[in-house]
Chain A
Amino acid sequence: MFETARFEGKRRVRGTAILSVGLSLYAAFIVWYFTVWEGAEVEELFQDMPPAMIEAFGIAELGSIEGFLGGQIYTFLWLLGLGIYFAYAGAGLVANDIEKGRMDLLGVFPISRTQLLSEKFAALLVPMVVLNLVVSAVVYVLVIAIGESIGPTHLFMAHALSLPYFLVCAALGVILSVVATRATIAERAAIGLIFLLWLGESVVSGSGEYSWLAYLSPTYYYEPTPVLIDGSYEPVHSLVLFGIFFGLLVVGLVLFKRRDF
């Protein structure tokens, strides 16, 4: 039990370390930029922008460090960038092994296909958890270092609540991975899908009549900026994400069990 999760998890350590460093550097740049940015007439700069744009980039509250981080790191990089990353990683999970001929060896292991895919998926928890821990710690320390303050609980929750969202993104990728004939197709489709869901949600969310369409996108259920600013979030949104995740994973497992390698 868990041999595959251990093996796949170890394989993800290097990439996770590199990504942690990269994201930390970006966070450091943003925090430094806030010190330069402070005092600028933020509202004026953006008043000509369409409301959907302001919504999409979360640039409503750029005056405070929480709002600034929310707009520059969480709404864009975390929600969109890492959402795409995990969907991409999920999309490669099965399709790459099949394409590179590795699935022939994995397929004759005396473990069920359900266990194989579940454990491979579980290994994605390594980057999911580590990136959240490292970047939240880095952000906290840097914010203190520039003489600002940020609620540690708020910061922690903003990160913790991203986990169910990332699980959904990865599970969407897994379904693409299982049905696609080639890995690159699955991976490109995953990137496109998350981008479209994010964009679609941003566009319709302020539009009144069709705003309900936003419920279809997982990005709707993870809103980091309000959590950072005042700790407000909807627990039911996280439950919805977990529900979607389990549903998608079950579909992925069933399809994986039935497909030919």
Chain B
Amino acid sequence: MATIDVEDLTKYYGDVRGIDGLSFTVDAGEVFGFLGPNGAGKTTAIRTLLGLQSPTSGSATVLGADIRDESALLEAKRKIGYLPDHLGFHEELTGTQILDYHASIKGDERRSELLELFTPPVERAVRGYSSGNKRMLGIIQAFMHDPDLVILDEPTSGLDPLKQERFHEFLREERDRGTTIFFSSHILSEVRQICDRVGILRDGRLVELEEIETLLNRSGKRVQVQTTTDGREALAALDGVIDVYEFDNGMQFIYTGDYNTLFRALSEHDIHEADISEPPLEDIFLHYYGEETAPNAEASADV
């Protein structure tokens, strides 16, 4: 049985669409990335899956429990860890006091191990925490009871790059231990590094569900070439060449066609330099969202 099985899940707030007709499954032991810009419905989907709000229509099971059945979901929640996007703690309490409360309800067999990896100043009141420290306290409470499924909503926001990298490494180890991870993000490089599969959400609807490798393969290669004017014209005319940018003595494009055709064309011209690489996910994102809502700004600010 799938760890998360979502069937036509819909949530409206009055007339405002949160999510609409979401269907997907997350298998045991995989890292599933839930990708989309802010406001796409990622948090709505997660909060509905956790029973924090009831769906308008559709259904879903989490660890086999129907999300509309509170008592069934209670059993499942023992094995779920959750890191919300917006983290609220009692500001006057210390990290230890908060973790003690969480421990009394869900257990804390991995607390000390996690406190070595992530190091919020647990002896101090949360009031004085930086956003990174709050996030680390959130990470600890999400994993301390050794859950089978962890749902993370924008988990690295507020973490410094070093801690982000440590967290990514930690997630990879968790996956190897068999933990299922459901991970929402608008940071593409993060999803690229961590996730096995990705669902792309736009305006409350799932627009694409792919293995991350398929997504990258299907999206072609980024080609950068320094060549003559004739060469540039010939290459731009090839089938499968899109998103062409020209610069001094060179050009860059995304190539989705056949390699042999590309190499034949290259061999007919004077090439000073050539580089073929994976396109950044930002570019792939553009295909799904269009220029206006490109998440470049967010992504580059957060990476």
Contacts and interface: CB of A to CB of B under 8 A. Distances in A.
Contact of A112 (B54, B71, B88): B71
A50 interface: no
A107 B86 CA distance: 14
A51 B2 CA distance: 73
A177 B74 CA distance: 24
B82 A104 contact: yes
Interface string A1-29: 00110110001000000000000000000
B54 A101 contact: no
A107 B50 CA distance: 8
A232 to B, nearest CB: 44
Contact of A108 (B82, B90, B93, B104): B82
A108 B101 contact: no
Most buried by B among A7, A258, A261: A7
Interface string A107-123: 11111110000000000
Contact of A3 (B70, B77, B104): B104
* Interface residues of A, dominant DSSP: helix
B84 interface: yes
B77 A109 contact: yes
Given A101-B86, A101-B88, A112-B70, A261 B52 contact: yes
A104 B88 contact: yes
A113 B53 CA distance: 12
Interface string B134-145: 000000010000
A111 B105 contact: yes
| Residue from B51, B53, B88 with most neighbouring chain A CB atoms (10 Å) | B88
B88 A100 contact: yes
Given A102-B88, A104-B52, A110 B105 contact: yes
Interface in A69-120: 97, 100-105, 107-113
Given A101-B84, A101-B86, A107 B141 contact: no
A4 B82 contact: no
B89 interface: yes
Contacts, number: 65
A110 B77 contact: yes
B47 interface: yes
A109 B141 contact: no
Contacts of A258: 54
Interface residues of B, number: 27
Nearest to B50: A108
B80 interface: yes
A7 B86 contact: no
Contacts of B301: none
B75 interface: yes
B127 to A, nearest CB: 12
A102 B106 CA distance: 16
Given A105-B82, A110-B106, A261-B52, A3 B101 contact: yes
Contacts of A209: none
B60 to A, nearest CB: 15
Contact of A261 (B47, B74, B77): B47
Nearest to B93: A11
A260 interface: yes
A105 B88 contact: yes
B84 A105 contact: yes
B70 A109 contact: no
B87 interface: yes
A237 to B, nearest CB: 37
Contacts of A113: 70
Given A3-B104, A110-B106, A111-B105, A104 B86 contact: yes
Contacts of B82: 104-105, 108
A108 B88 contact: no
A3 B108 CA distance: 14
B168 interface: no
Contacts of A7: 101, 104
A110 B50 contact: no
A94 to B, nearest CB: 13
Interface string B173-203: 0000000000000000000000000000000
Contacts of B105: 3-4, 109-111
Nearest to A258: B54
Given A104-B88, A112-B70, 5 more contacts: A4-B101, A105-B102, A108-B51, A111-B105, A260-B54
Interface of A: 3-4, 6-7, 11, 97, 100-105, 107-113, 257-258, 260-261
24 contacts: A4-B105, A7-B104, A11-B93, A101-B88, A102-B88, A103-B52, A103-B88, A104-B52, A104-B82, A104-B86, A104-B88, A107-B50, A107-B51, A107-B52, A108-B50, A110-B74, A110-B75, A110-B77, A110-B78, A110-B105, A111-B105, A260-B53, A261-B52, A261-B53
Interface of B: 47, 50-54, 70-71, 74-75, 77-78, 80, 82, 84, 86-90, 93, 101-102, 104-106, 141
